[in-house]
Structure formats: C-alpha cells, structure tokens
C-alpha cells in the first residue's frame, strides 16, 4: 500500500481590493522615473492588497500598530476563507482535522495563527499544531514536511497547511529603490491545503491533486543575507539583493539532481513543474538552469501576472491552476519548487 499522504483539497483567498501596477506606481512612486520603470517592467498586471485610503499626496504612512493589526486581519479574513473553502471542497468538518500547520512571514503574533484559526473555525482543542514564522517564500514546503511526517506516522489522520501572507502589512513607503523593488512585487493572499493520510476514512481526491512522495532542500550560505527583513523605524522592511536570481539559478540543479537520483528518476520523467512566482528574473534564471520552457512554468508566470509574488502561497496557487487545467493524468509526476530566505531552495516530489 502507498504510505504517502495525498492532497484532498485546496482553498485560496485574496483581498477584495486589487490594484494595477499603473495605479500602484502613482501611489508609491509618482515622479520618480526609476521607480516607475520598476513597477511597469515586472511582468505583473495587478495585485490584491489591503491598503489605506489614498490621500492627496498618495499612500499615507501606516503605523506599526496598524500594520500588525492588518496582519492579524489577514489571518482571520483571507486565512479563514481559504480554510473554509478547503473544508467544503472535501466535505470535511473542522473537528476531523488532527494537525494544523500555519505559515506566515508578514508579522509576529503571540498567540499565533494556529490559535486564532482554531478559535475561529472550531477545530478540536486537542489538535496538534505548529506555527512556522519567518521562513519566507519557501515556507509552504517547510510547513508540509512535518505535516507529511505526521500523516505517515498516523495514516488514518487528516491535516491542514494554511499559508497566510499579508505582504502589505510589511510595507514601508519611502523613495528608496530597494523599498520600491519590494513594493512593486508582493501581493496579499492565503492558501489552505487539506491532506489525508493513506488510511484516512475520506473520499478519494480529485485526479488533479497529487500525492506527496519526497522532499529535498538546498541552503545557499554564501547568499545568507540576500533576502531578509530589516527594521525601518520599527517597521518590518524586506530587502532583496539584485543578485538573488544568479544565486538561485546557479544552485537549483543540485537539489533537483539529488531528489531525482534518490527516487531513480530522470528529469524527462517530470511532467509538471510548479515553481514559486518569485519575479520574472528569478523565473528566467530557474528556466535557463533547468532547461525549462515558458510552457513548463505557465502556471508560475500566470500567478505572477495576476497576483504578484504572494510568498509562500504562490506554489499552492499554481497547483490549483494545474488542477483546474485538467491536463494531469494518473501516474504523472511533478516537482514543487519554492525559493526564499536562507537563501534556500525547497522541493517536493509529486505524483498523481
């Protein structure tokens, strides 16, 4: 019997308010041609964000308290909607969930997202839980690993991963190019994946959603400080080094090769590539070094265009798109790839 957990359902949510890049550049960088070029050359069409009402001088500054309150709201609003959607898809009640993993990098709360969602949705009080905070865009895969191990140990159980990234709660507003890079890229979103152990008493999942077979990691220590949070007058301010695409591209072959070798597979046997929508230069670097086509990363490119970089949520959004496309067949294999601070590359091997 296959002892690997499977994904039963995926729920996704974004704020109701969205902005085109043209609208955002007027709010964040009007009059600075360098900032304008950044916003308009990003391959992003629009993003969903929770922003204050613009004033006559553009986007008003938000206090530390307001940003943290926005992070909490995102957990309960977008996170709550994603959870409800996943539960409804699988016809599963909250009290049936045995393990809850919540992932975020856009704020710090204590008690954290797991406690807030348990209270909101009526999960059992004896549920196992873990909050993964601060691991960035690759954190969905870091959150999946303990959940998958739990479901192998408890094959009759159900678990849920919830990624909540209110990136607008980690924005600062100034005229610096480094700040503009971040403000031109990230969006708000939440995604929930409902997983079942191999002996769980639930109905079979849709053929569009996979089994999780294996994981692989690569941390790039020479790029340790290329993606990080700094403090700007007490506010979280994300920093992205211009050489990130080079570091990620130069190292992405290593974990892929190890994962495939361990499973006795060749790259040509991978039918689907679900890569983090980290930005056009990052995607191009991964494509070049892994010899992938635009068709291979079509879901990645579409998520970037429609939502921006939604951090840890992006690979689950891409998986949702692949499932809706209806092209997967039983026996297909795929690689889920996310990149983030560390710098790190995280992989999961998928099978349908």
Query: Which tens digits make up the pLDDT trace of 278-316?
Result: 999 999 999 999 999 999 999 999 999 999 999 999 999
Q: Which of 102, 110, 137, 313 is catalytic?
A: 137
Burial, 33: exposed, middle or buried (Cβ in 10 Å; 0-12, 13-18, 19+)? exposed
Asked whether 312 and 139 are in contact (CB, 8 A), the reply is yes
Of 211, 188, 100, 78, the closest CA to residue 147 belongs to: 100
Q: Any idea which residue has 């409902």 for tokens?
A: 194
For the stretch 90-147, pLDDT in tens is 999 999 999 999 999 999 999 999 999 999 999 999 999 999 999 999 999 999 999 9
Helices and strands, counts by H and E, the chain: 12, 13
Asked whether 209 and 7 are in contact (CB, 8 A), the reply is yes
Looking at the chain, the whole-number percentage of residues with pLDDT higher than 70 is 97
For the stretch 213-261, pLDDT in tens is 999 999 999 999 999 888 887 888 888 888 999 999 999 999 999 999 9
User: Model confidence at 336, in pLDDT bands (50, 70, 90)?
Assistant: very high
The tokens describing 143, both together, are 């959150």
Cross-strand bridge partners of residue 275: 337
Query: Is the preceding peptide bond at 111 cis, omega within 30 degrees of 0?
Result: yes
User: Model confidence at 321, in pLDDT bands (50, 70, 90)?
Assistant: very high
DSSP 24-70: HHHHHHTT-HHHHHHHHTSS--EEE---PPPBTTBSPPPPHHHHHHH
Residue 127 to residue 96: CA distance in whole angstroms: 9
Q: Are strands 272-275 and 333-340 parallel, antiparallel or unpaired?
A: parallel
Asked whether 78 and 50 are in contact (CB, 8 A), the reply is no
> Is the pLDDT assigned to residue 1 strictly greater than 60?
no
Active-site residue flag, 137: yes
Residues in the chain: 352
| Secondary structure E strands in the chain | 6-13, 18-20, 46-48, 99-104, 128-133, 158-166, 188-196, 211-219, 227-232, 235-240, 272-275, 333-340, 344-351
């Amino acid at each position: 019997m296959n002892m690997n957990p499977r994904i039963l359902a995926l729920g996704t949510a974004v704020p109701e308010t969205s902005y085109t890049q043209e609208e955002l550049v007027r709010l964040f960088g009007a009059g600075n041609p360098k900032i304008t070029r950044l916003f308009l050359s990003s391959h992003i069409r629009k993003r969903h964000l929770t922003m204050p009402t613009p004033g006559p001088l553009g986007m008003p500054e938000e206090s530390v308290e307001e940003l943290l309150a926005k992070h909490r709201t995102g957990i309960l609003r977008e996170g709550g909607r994603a959870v409800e959607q996943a539960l409804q898809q699988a016809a599963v009640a909250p009290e049936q969930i045995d393990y809850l993993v919540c992932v975020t990098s856009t704020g710090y709360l204590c008690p954290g997202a797991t406690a807030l969602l348990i209270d909101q949705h009526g999960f059992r009080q004896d549920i196992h839980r873990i909050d993964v905070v601060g691991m960035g865009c690759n954190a969905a895969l870091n959150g999946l690993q303990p959940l998958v191990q739990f479901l192998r140990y408890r094959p009759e159980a159900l678990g849920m991963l919830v990624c909540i990234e209110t990136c607008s709660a980690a924005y600062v507003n100034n005229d610096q190019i480094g700040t503009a890079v971040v403000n031109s890229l990230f969006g708000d979103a939440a995604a929930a994946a409902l997983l079942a152990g191999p002996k769980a008493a639930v109905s079979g999942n849709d053929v569009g959603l996979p089994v999780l077979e294996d994981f692989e990691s690569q941390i790039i220590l020479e790029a340790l400080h290329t993606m990080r949070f700094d403090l700007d007058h007490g506010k979280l301010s994300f920093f992205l080094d211009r050489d990130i695409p080079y570091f990620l591209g130069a190292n992405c072959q290593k974990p892929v090769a190890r994962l495939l070798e361990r499973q006795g597979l060749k790259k040509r046997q991978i039918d689907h590539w679900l890569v983090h929508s980290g930005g056009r230069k990052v995607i191009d670097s991964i494509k070049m070094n892994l010899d992938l086509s635009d068709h291979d990363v079509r879901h990645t490119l579409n998520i970037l265009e429609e939502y921006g970089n939604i951090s840890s949520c992006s690979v689950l959004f891409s998986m949702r798109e692949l499932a809706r496309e209806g092209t997967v067949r039983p026996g297909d294999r795929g690689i889920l790839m996310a990149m983030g601070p560390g710098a790190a590359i995280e992989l999961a091997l998928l099978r349908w």
